[in-house]
A and B are shown apart, each in its own frame.
Chain A
Amino acid sequence: MRLELSGITKSFGHLLANDHVDLVVEQGEVHCLLGENGAGKTTLMNILFGLLHADSGEVRIDGRPVRFADPGDAVRRGIGMVHQHFMLIPVFSVAENIVLGFEPLKRLGFLDRRRARADIRRVSEEFGLEVDPDALVEDLPVGAQQRVEILKALMRDAQLLILDEPTAVLTPQETQGLFRVIRSLASSGRSVLFITHKLKEVLAVADRITVMRSGRVVGSTGPAGTTEAELASMMVGRDVELVVKKEVAKPGPVVLEVSDLSVVDDRGVTVVDHASFEVRSGEILAVAGVQGNGQTELAEAITGLAERAHLSGSVRLGGRDITGATPRRALKAGIANVPEDRQTDGLVLSMSIADNLVLDVYNQAPYARHGARDLARARSDGQAKLKEFDIRAASVDDPVSALSGGNQQKVIVARELSRPIKLLVASQPTRGLDVGSIEYVHRRIVAERDKGAAVLLVSSELDEVFALGDRIAVMYRGRIVGIVPPSVSREKVGLMMAGVSEPEVEGAVRPL
């Protein structure tokens, strides 16, 4: 299928989300649509998929103009879409999810499960999409759920597959797997439109790259003729530093001392297994690991979010025991927390930016006196923080939900770094953010280190771990497999992330 979009324009009120966008996807091509959050990529895809209607412009398939009234229309014309948030029914099996809406039937209208399974096996083998048709979707890891979504589209005979930020939820290994699937789709003659803001991925998988900024196409190129830096500056509209500038760490006294810490979850399963390490003032300890190996729980145990009864071992901050402290005590002891799930744990989306900026100091001077809040002070300080932390918002009275992901994260960073802190715990601080915001958050973390804070950075992105970490601790199934300097190779850290203990990794450096 050859897809052509020409002159697509769509506005919401006075916001021009798409401004005369032209795009051509050839048959068998992997086309990457690159742009920051808010550049208009998702709007464009929603128009293509029939979820939105363009104000003007034309969509042509194989030269013929088409107009989709709704997603059903688009599907019938061979367009499949895998959304960023999956559209699966968790309590249904893989096969049931896939055939939902066009079920193969036996006589009397019964579902023909045998045929459904056989069909799914055939397609999944053809493209290397491994899934068990009988597994329940809720039991599958995210990467497998994504394969189910892709299968769903292929079973409906999609000739053009739109993938919206498909790697945001994947581990590095799963991402590699997805890329193999994308290549096999392309070699079978299908076209793939891949939406992302990650530069490395674009260069790894694209045949053709189109960059959008502020609703316009600002350039189109092949992967051979460009570099990450060039793509980044096209996306952002200025030169961007892809490498974090930082001096060699000057570690001071020990700030955080974790010894023999174990955490069990609600079901009694050990999720952090006898972890011991320390973080000094003026250094960043990066905790690497595949998502779900106990990093989240480790961070929660330190910031006071774990149940006391679930902990054993000890956590000390500046010599004082804070094992199982309440979140408020941990906060007052000088711990700043940038939580992993910013919308659930970090912000109250319906409340104003000003309120969110004082979410953990609302009851302290100068923001409150005798139990009454000083709203004017919260607003004026909030206004100052919009400037200081480069938060792009019209007013501090706007709800946080009106901000982009990057600006939401900056609100959290602004709040947490506005208190005097000894330890900064930052979990996945740049997940899902655009290049400009990533750069900003990284600079701030390094600045905090240089001011003398100890930093515990939890990240499943190896790039980030190597860019920021002064030392790298690798976690696997709740254990700290080893702590290595950032001078070791990615392969070694990769092996450790898969559970190979550090001495077994040939030539590995002894822990510091």
Chain B
Amino acid sequence: MTTAAPPVPELAGVPPGAPSSVPRWRALLRWMAEANLAVVTFLAVVFGLFVGAILIVVTTPATLSAWGQVGSHPAHSLSVIFSTLGNAYGAMFTGSIFSPSALGHAISTGRGWNTAFTPLSETMVSATPLILAGTGVALGFSTGVFNIGGQGQLICGAIAATYVGFGVHLPQVPHLVLVVLAGAAGGAVAGFIPGILKARTGAHEVIVTIMLNYIFLNLLNYLLVTPPLQQPGQSNAISRVVPPSARLPHLFGGGLRVNVGFLIALGVAAGASWFMRRSTLGFEFKVIGANPAAGRTAGMDARRATVLVLTISGALVGMAGMATLSGTDFFLSSGYGGNNGFNAITVALLGRNRPLGVVLGSLLFAALSTGGRYLQATTNIPLDLTQVVQAVIVFLVATPALVKEIFHLREAGASKILLFSKGWGG
């Protein structure tokens, strides 16, 4: 008893370059007018920024008073509104990518390169854990496993990396290799637990991973006030500081904090992309994610896959915890990792569970965060505004049907917009 499915085999829009009787530019126009992945994501970003603009206009004192004079001095009011908006989004760009004037200065004088590139470097630093954790979460989603335990796995990875960081004494290269592996192993353990529980008892991974987040969070809080993790001579909840040999080297030296962790993140994303497209295990994961019954009939072991995917997913998220520790923080404290474990879910959604998408989504997300902080520092527009923009973008990316309605797009080919994952039934 399925619901009525009006059988309308609407033909897929022709992607650019596809063989078609219509000219290429018309095919391109058609592609741009249909609700496919790229178009939906782009429009979601545009719409998010548009909502942000409205919020700025209706909340900033300067523009509010300008509104009052729309009747008497329309030109003046509009110019105030537009200059406020321009300043705000200009500040976000300056704060997250680069400042054109600083770059110009660096080019003309040959000095001040660091200042010019600091915003971009900060964006890359923020994106690093998001890429790692987002790739891990996306791997689970595309296998039909909802890993909501990013925060807990990230904390576990960071704890393991910290122990190896201060507990082992080695030259930098082997030490760092061990630290990276420890981060992955810590996250893997935290992912294995919900995996084995689901495979053996059927306990739903959503509930187990959410609950484990609290357990690991409190485990961290406990360890931070207990030797040997606690910084000796401290009563604060702060861990020992890892030595320089356990720190990820900066990529460009000087004041730019962007470090090897960013390259590791890109490498992991590329590896995950290969894994899902080309490896036999990745194929198994995809089949089981799309149709577990068919996978079973074809001889695949869905339980084993569940355990494996949660373990691997946890390992990647654990590396995110390591990346922040060894890249920028060098010690753990209460509240470590911020919201990266949850934001990982968001960027996995943004990137539609594809590693390249996760990288782009993470960069966008990180740019909005660093830009938002700069915006807050230079104007009096609060950081919350950029968080609203982020939320609107994610909301729209997650609801392609809504974007299709708002922008009157045509139906895309059936396979273009994928569901992210199965729901609770999975």
Contact = CB atoms under 8 A, between A and B. Distances in A.
B287 A401 contact: no
A110 interface: no
Given A52-B6, A52-B8, A85-B2, A351 B278 contact: no
A262 interface: no
A504 interface: no
A360 interface: yes
Given A328-B301, A331-B299, A344 B8 contact: no
Interface string A412-439: 0000000000000000000000000000
Interface in B3-48: 3-4, 6-11
A351 B299 contact: no
A337 B3 CA distance: 30
A137 B1 CA distance: 10
B135 to A, nearest CB: 19
Contacts of A351: 286-287, 290
Interface in A1-42: 12-15, 42
Contacts of B54: none
Contact of A371 (B281, B298, B418): B281
Interface in B378-425: 414-415, 418
Interface string B279-314: 111011011001101111111110000000000000
Given A326-B299, A359-B287, A51 B294 contact: no
A51 B298 CA distance: 38
Interface in A353-402: 355, 359-360, 362-363, 368, 371-373, 375, 399, 401
Contact of A372 (B6, B280, B299): B280
A87 interface: yes
Contacts of A111: none
A339 B297 contact: yes
B280 A345 contact: no
B9 A15 contact: yes
Contacts of B2: 85
Nearest to A88: B1
A508 interface: no
A89 B1 contact: yes
B280 A85 contact: no
Contacts of A332: 299
B7 A42 contact: yes
A371 B294 contact: no
Interface residues on B, range: 20 to 34
Contacts of A46: 6-7
B283 A349 contact: no
A12 B299 CA distance: 39
Contact of B293 (A51, A137, A344): A344
Contact of A401 (B11, B284, B295, B414): B414
Contacts of A303: 297
A373 B278 CA distance: 5
Given A12-B9, A371-B279, A399-B415, A359 B1 contact: no
A433 to B, nearest CB: 18
B9 A362 contact: no
A348 interface: yes
Given A90-B1, A347-B294, A371 B6 contact: no
B280 A371 contact: yes
B27 to A, nearest CB: 14
A368 B280 contact: yes
A298 B396 CA distance: 48
B280 A362 contact: yes
A346 interface: yes
Nearest to A362: B283
Given A13-B11, A373-B278, A346 B1 contact: no
Contact of A348 (B4, B281, B287, B301): B287
A305 B1 contact: no
Given A399-B415, A401-B414, A305 B291 contact: no
25 contacts: A12-B9, A12-B10, A13-B10, A13-B11, A15-B11, A43-B7, A46-B7, A51-B7, A87-B3, A305-B296, A327-B297, A327-B298, A328-B300, A330-B299, A339-B297, A345-B297, A346-B297, A347-B291, A348-B291, A349-B290, A350-B291, A350-B415, A360-B299, A371-B280, A373-B283
Interface of A: 12-15, 42-43, 46, 51-52, 83, 85-90, 137, 145, 303, 305, 326-328, 330-332, 337, 339, 344-351, 355, 359-360, 362-363, 368, 371-373, 375, 399, 401
